Amino acid sequence: MVWIAAIGVGILAAVVMAVVVPRVRIDDDEEAPDFAALVSRRSVLGVGVLGVAVAQVLWVQPTWTWWLWVPYLGVGAAMAYVDWRTTFLPRLMNNLALGLMAVGGVAVGIADWRALVGAVVGALAAYGLLYAAWRLSPGLGFGDVRLALLIGAVAGQSGASMWALSLFLGTALGAVHAVVHAVWARRGEGRPTYFPYGPALWLGPVAAAVWMAAL
């Protein structure tokens, strides 16, 4: 059952990469990249494989939580790749994930209404927390704030501990990436000092689920 879901996540990730990413437009930013140029056979395959890989977290998650995990991981894999390559988290992709998760939330609510409440509260709380951080930190993009809705929902359905650990580990992974990137940037003239924060945040719930299962 897990492998079927994992393959589904991989297919969703590949389809989003191949079909949705070329349609992304950001008209109010002159520095926005050509997202269609990111799409190739290699990138579509790579994102699909990434989706299957991260979906192995489903082994340690109850099946009723998969309704939120599958779109989170599937669309999120493509979002993480785009952010990694461009430092942009397109609203179109975030809204797609949010819409699919909202539909999945109905099934979660049928299975456990408290989990649905946790997902909604978790999404809003994570959004509020990242919004406050965005207001205080010039290095944080608003795409990361929108991503927090997805992170808070998928983590919040499993309780407050999972929610808190997801945000903590996502932030910790981002801090490690920041240090590594800073060292890399100093070793070469002209290397960019900015880096994408979204992939680390996105991996937060995955790391938290594995951590909690290992305890």
Q: What is the pTM of this model?
A: 0.94
- 87 in the Ramachandran plot: left (φ > 0), alpha (ψ -120 to 50) or beta? left
Nearest to 147 by CA among 208, 95, 104: 95
Structural tokens at position 25: 């437009």
Contacts with 64 (C-beta within 8 Å, 6 or more apart), sequence order: 107, 108, 111, 112, 115
Helix pair angle (2-15, 41-54), 10° resolution: 150
Identify the three-state secondary structure at position 139: coil
Closest CA to 74 of 102, 55, 99: 55
CA Rg, the chain, in Å? 17
| pLDDT of 32 | 78
The answer to which of 3-17, 33-47, 137-151 has the lowest mean pLDDT is 137-151
Q: What tens digit of pLDDT does each residue of 74-113 get?
A: 999 999 999 999 999 999 999 999 999 999 999 999 999 9
Q: In the predicted model, what is the mean pLDDT of residues 188-210? A: 87
**pLDDT band at residue 180, thresholds of 50, 70 and 90?**
confident
What pLDDT sits at residue 139? 74
Is 20 a residue whose pLDDT tops 70?
yes
CA distance 98 to 46: 23
Please count the structural domains in the chain.
1
DSSP state letters, 47-109? HHHHHHHHGGGGGGS-GGGHHHHHHHHHHHHHHHHHHHHHS---HHHHHHHHHHHHHHHHHHH
- For residue 6, the SS3 value is helix
| Gap between the Cα atoms of 7 and 74, Å rounded | 10
For the chain, the residue count is 215
| pLDDT at residue 215, as a whole number | 84
Range of the domain at 159: 2-214
